[in-house]
Amino acid sequence: MSKVERSRPSDDALRKELTEEEYHVTQEAGTERAFSG
């Protein structure tokens, strides 16, 4: 079985596609602390 190589979008491409909040959550682990609310 051969491995499939996947490319990751560049940081600039992600910033253009995602909102500021989406980018923060998906790329910078910007979520609230567990059990905090």
Q: In this predicted model, what pLDDT tens digit does every residue of 9-26 receive, in sequence order?
A: 999 999 999 999 999 999
Tell me if 24 sits within 8 A of 30, measured CB to CB. Answer: yes
Single-letter code of the amino acid located at 35: F
Residue 36 predicted with pLDDT over 80: no
Q: Which single residue is written with the structure tokens 């596609």?
A: 17
Instruction: Categorize the per-residue pLDDT at 29 as very low, low, confident or very high, splitting at 50, 70 and 90.
Output: confident
Tell me if 12 sits within 8 A of 18, measured CB to CB. Answer: no
Q: How far apart, in whole angstroms, are the C-alpha atoms of residue 16 and residue 27?
A: 13
Q: What integer pLDDT is reported at residue 30 of this predicted model?
A: 85
Q: How far apart, in whole angstroms, are the C-alpha atoms of residue 8 and residue 23?
A: 14
